[in-house]
Structure 1
Amino acid sequence: MEHDQTPQASQQPIKRTVLDYDDIRKMIPYFDGKPRLVKFLSHVLALDKVNWIHAHNCDTPGVPFVQGLLKDLNITIELNNGQVLDHLPQGGFITVSNHPFGALDGIMLIKLIGERRPDFKVMVNMVLNYISAMRPNFIMVDALASNDPKRRAESVRGIAEAMRHVKDGHPLGFFPAGAVSKFTWDLHIEDRAWQPTVMRLIKKLKVPVVPIYFHGHNSLVFTILGMIDWRLRTLKLPSEVFRRKNDTFRISIGDPISPEVQSRYQSLDDLGAFLRGKTYEMKKWK
């Protein structure tokens, strides 16, 4: 089977901006009818910069877009155990990662795996899906869809697409927390418990799992905003991206975990705790 095919282009045309006035007023109805306030906040929150950098690179969607974006931001990546990336499993496999940044981790994940396997896709929520130039490498689900039949149906389609993608021999990435890392009771910033929905998919697919740990976290202000309202945190994401311009990120790659080892963990909670533990055990940089 051929595994190096490029993901099909998104069915939707690529929107040159990430978040514009219409997106923001739909997300937060308070801003409806206040375009001047939105324009001011777009400058303060660096939305205008994100929209520019997206427009600058969006004519080459997918992995080339990610490469261009990281180049424009002058971001450097350091790897621990990076040789695993040169010997990735053949056919379908899964990556599981912590989610400390909310956007840059998804971008860097697509660079790391997508450069070696252009057929790599990541299951993302509606926030990352605003980055339309990355949709060739996205499978979208909506974590807030439970009360909306239309959005729930879109999520069901996304899960079915994810299953089909792996069964057809392609790799798939998960951020199993389904949300950006936040404060724990002892004031560490970590993922919440990894979600049973993702563990159920992993158990069904029975393919190797590669754990990937992103070192670091967003600013304290971002984390506190997330405790108030997820939408405020979402609007802060662009400035978090530009705060890390000219920065170096450290990423640790774990050895693939075979389906046989995974099968030792019968319950979804046990499997989630095991995979989360294998990811977080890489927290100490070697």
Structure 2
Amino acid sequence: MNNEPLEKPYSDLRLAAMAPNTLLGTMLKITGPFWDKLLGISKLRRVYESCELSGLNKQEFSQKLLNGLGVQVSGINGVLAKIPQRGRCIIVCNHPYGMIEGVIIAHLLTEVRADTKVMANVGLTIFKEIKDYFIFANPLKPKALINGLAIKQCFRHLEKDGLLVIFPAGRVSFFQADKQRIADADWNRLAIKLATKTDSPILPVFISGANSKLFHNMGRVYYRFRLLMLAHEMFKLQAHNIALKTNNLLTIKQLNEFNGTKRMNDFVRLQCYLNDDNYFSPWLEHEKRTSFEAVIPMVDKKVMKKELAQLPEIQHLLDFKSFSVYYGYQQQIPHCVEEITRLREITFRTLDEGSGEACDTDKFDATYMHLFIFDHKNEEIIGAYRIGQTDLLQKNGDVSKLYLAQMFDFAPEFINQQQPCLEMGRSFIIAAHQNSFHGLLLLWKGIGAFVCQNPHYRTLYGTVSLSKLYDPRSVALIDEIMVTDKEGVSAKKSFAGQLHPEVKDFISAAPVSLNQLSALVMGIEEDGKDVPVLLKQYYKLGAKFHCTGIDVNFNDTPGLLLSVNLPAAPDKLLKLYLGSSKTAYINYDKSDELSAI
């Protein structure tokens, strides 16, 4: 890179110098001083001269220009941390100001990647010192020759493993009457086409702020006024903080979850706008537990084995290698249940969900059934479900006998008031087995064996915990996209998630699949984690999702309420979980049972 000073002066910041050799250009040259003052060009020229910008190299020029304008930028380190140190990559940004953000992004990225190029409006050619930053295009004239040349330059730059920045809107954000907010115009799909052709990841970067009310009001009168006011707007950024924020690199695999370039483009745009802090509410600190009791010691293994040996054979549901699945009640296996509560607390604490007590227990442990996996080789419990049999629990009581009645108001028409159901909850797999296939599979095979023994249970319902290890935006997205059947139930304490209006635009344009939701969540989460495994499990079974509530008895953890009509689940999964008893379970008719009595 050539950092040698250029001959001064270099940039001629006068409208007359930019005027074409036409009749209109001649008139502009004559009236140039008037227009320079009106449009703020004279003021810009004074900054150029007072800061001695003439002839500086591009990095010195841009830094001094930003200092001269009084622009302050935050969030720089967060963005730089997400950019690959080498290799092709596309960065896309919203366009709130129209000019200065191009200089900001170019300057910051060039500090770490000398191979940075920014696709920019030809208007920035007024600054000759920084032209090397840019690949120029003219979004106001889509058929202009310069645009075709610019696209070829972008492609070649990525082919050489460069870093490319694109402002897909192509013009400054403006007030949109139909949306009743300031937003970018529809994004051009060039970034998506370049990414898919060159196998380049995309990093969406949100740039905070907006131009003045006067700017947007004048733009509503006549759209060309926005262009004429851009220079003036730069001087309103004095001592103004422009925040940059991003999430994760989006891979081609994530893009391919969406059908067609338009939907891919909408996905990338949404990922950008999700970084708007005006629509971000962090978890409240007072909702996070800070003190924890010491967990109770492990229960004697011999005592647990003795309890298991005394269970009726029908409660020994299945075996796999050294593992067995059982179910029992607290009065039958008090020490096993105590160990389950100990392991629950240990496991839930890692998810920011623990009770903070010495073990995770409540009065419902005494009335609910416990279905669990015992590892005979290591003589330990490795996972469990707590299951409420609603017909037994409500036989001599009412809905208050159900744990989830503490979290939700169930109307008489809700499924757990209409037929015998299994209320599923408090599931866990210990850390050593969370990455193995057998943990969750054995629990579900155990559930399958239990319902085959008790075929009058046709419906499962419960909550999927949405841990506070998730970003609140992810939880809000899961709630917004998954909840479709709100009839008959409401949360006692609702999840008050906040989402950018762009989310509504995205969802209303087309249905969002679970894989697409996964792509959205993985784009947001700092560690790239996916939606909860249990959510996927229930979704595959054909679950309906009813509402999201806050479990005040479980460290204020959000929980997504769902129900599954088990006989209607996909045949492949029923074969897997119910085995040879599948057909008998599906064909079960309670009236046949009654007629035999």
Aligned 8 A contact 1:28 1:231 in 2: no
Distance 2:14 2:67 in 1: 21
Q: How do residues 111-150 of structure 1 correspond to structure 2 at under 5 angstroms?
A: 111-146=107-142
Aligned to 2:83: 88
* Aligned counterpart, 2:164: 172
Q: Which residue in 1 is equivalent to 2:265?
A: 272
Q: List gaps (5 residues or longer) in structure 2.
A: 281-597
Does residue 233 in structure 1 map to residue 226 in structure 2? yes
| Pairs within 5 Å for 1:18-167 | 18-23=13-18, 25-26=19-20, 32-33=26-27, 35=29, 37-54=31-48, 56-79=52-75, 82-89=77-84, 90-146=86-142, 151-152=144-145, 154-167=146-159
Cα contact 1:73–1:242 (8 A) shared by 2: yes
User: Alignment partner for residue 283 of structure 1, among 264, 276, 296?
Assistant: 276
For 2:17 and 2:115, how far apart are their aligned partners in 1?
A: 32
- Quote the residue 2:180 is aligned against: 187
Larger Rg: 2
Residue type matched to 2:249 in 1?
A: P
Q: Structure 1 residues 59, 171: closer, same or farther in 2, change over 3 A?
A: same
For residue 234 of structure 1, report the CA deviation from its aligned partner.
2.1
Structure 2 Cα separation of the partners of residues 8 and 226 of structure 1: 39
- Secondary structure (helix, strand or coil) at the match of 2:92 reads strand
In the TM superposition, what is the alpha-carbon distance from 1:216 to its structure 2 partner? Answer: 1.0
Question: Scaled by the length of structure 1, what TM-score is found?
Answer: 0.84
- Report the Cα offset of residue 62 of structure 1: 2.1
CA contact (8 A) 2:3 2:57 kept: no
Tell me the CA shift for residue 131 of structure 1. 2.7
Deviations along 1:65-96, whole A, 9 cap, x unmatched? Answer: 1111112222211217x334135212111100
CA RMSD of superposed structures (Å): 2.8
Distance 2:21 2:110 in 1: 30
In 1, the alpha carbon distance for the partners of 2:238 and 2:107 equals 17
CA–CA distance in structure 2, aligned partners of residues 31 and 220 of structure 1: 31
Superposed displacement of residue 222, structure 1: 1.8
Distance change in 2, residues 1:51/1:200 (3 Å) = same
* Cα distance between partner residues in 2 of 1:164 and 1:14: 33
State the alpha-carbon separation in 1 of the partners of residues 45 and 79 from structure 2: 34
Structure-2 change in CA distance of 1:29 and 1:262 (3 Å): farther
1:16 corresponding residue in structure 2 = 11
Contact 1:54 1:133 in 2 (8 A): no
**Aligned with 1:57: secondary structure?**
coil
Deviations 1:25-83 (A, max 9, x none): 44997674355643123223321121233453241232221111112222211217x33
Please state whether the residue corresponding to 2:277 is helix, strand or coil.
coil
Match of 1:213 among 184, 191, 206: 206
SS for the counterpart of 1:60 is: coil
1:264 partner SS: coil
Q: RCO greater where, 1 or 2, for CA within 8 Å and sep 6 or more?
A: 1
In 2, the alpha carbon distance for the partners of 1:236 and 1:63 equals 26
Matching of residue 247 in structure 1 with residue 240 in structure 2? yes
Asked if the contact 1:75/1:246 (under 8 Å) is kept, the reply is: yes
1:194 is displaced (CA, Å) by 0.9
Which 5+ residue runs of structure 1 have no aligned equivalent? 1-5
Aligned match of 1:3: none
C-alpha displacement of 1:230: 4.9
TM-score w.r.t. structure 2 length? 0.42
| Letter of the structure 2 residue corresponding to residue 181 of structure 1 | S
- Aligned partners of 1:181, 1:274: CA distance in 2, in Å? 19
CA contact (8 A) 1:27 1:231 kept: no
Larger proportion of strand? 2
Opposite residue 110 of structure 1, the aligned amino acid is: A
